[in-house]
Amino acid sequence: MAAPREQAPKYVRAEEWVQAHFPQLSRRQAREALAGELVRKSGTALRKGDRVAPNATLDTKGLETHLIRLGQGNAEVVLDVLYESTDFAVVDKPAGTHGHPLSLWDDATVTHWALHRYPELREALRDKAQPCLTPHRLDIGTTGALIVCRTKANYELWRGRFSRHEVTKQYLAWCWGSPKKLKFEINLGIGHDPSVPSRMLPDTEPKLRPPILPASTSVSVLETREGFFLCRATTRTGVTHQVRVHLSALGFPLLGDALYDATFAKRPLKPLWPQLRASEINHPNFCLQTPSERFITSL
């Protein structure tokens, strides 16, 4: 006797319908589209959790228009190009600019700069609503060298280099305190703060949310001032917030770093962003230094 056929569901959640018809969207992006009232039924915006027939005809003009606009990039994002080839570019990311989009509404990131500058990327990345083109990360407040890949193959190439710790990065940082040594090493694992999702902690803290990742930073003091100093931090591991966490753990939080400076409110100087600049990217096949005089003389 033949097994009974499974019947198609009469109704699905609205976000499931959106994902089925726009497979380039993640579940989170589908929910963001609904929250932004980009999908409608009979003139009424659908909400997360609403149920519709799988074959329902819905008004998605708002979502289609939004995705087309994102895919064209953003001509208003202006970045200094430090290096450019047919495979990748290196830009000087300013403070306040995200390297890649975090939501369906981000439209002024390095990704959108690249989509506008390199039209060939638009067709190659049609299957992704908000692609990431940067194989490594810089915090929104960190300035300096950021790689932007122009092909999927080059993105995978650089991702592999970073994951195998073949790339050394140097940073310049203004920090509070007066170190006793001009050169020192920091070897502390880093994990997530279980109570603050955006915060990382060194493994000297009693409670960390795994995984705890090994991290090593070499520090050289370049200049000292009254109560603070300029240093060069060299990393091969690329753990989130590594330089900020390591220097803070030794009692040298970065100027402007409200997340990792316990006495930030009492500091005499409060820059808008943590004073950190990615000053060099070094790989056996590639080395680039960024202009840093303005950062060095900024304080």
- In the block, which residue shows the tokens 């638009």? 122
Instruction: Give the pLDDT band (50/70/90) at residue 114.
Output: very high
This prediction has a pTM of: 0.92
Domains of the chain and CATH, by start: 12-70 (3.10.290.10), 80-163 (3.30.2350.10), 168-296 (3.30.2350.10)
Mean pLDDT for the stretch of residues 226-239: 96
Q: 158-205, pLDDT tens digit by residue?
A: 999 999 999 999 999 999 999 999 999 999 999 999 999 999 999 999
Residue type, 295: F
Q: 6-59, pLDDT tens digit by residue?
A: 666 689 999 999 999 999 999 999 999 999 999 999 999 999 999 999 999 999
- In the block, which residue shows the tokens 């009974």? 4
Q: 64-104, pLDDT tens digit by residue?
A: 999 999 999 999 999 999 999 999 999 999 999 999 999 99
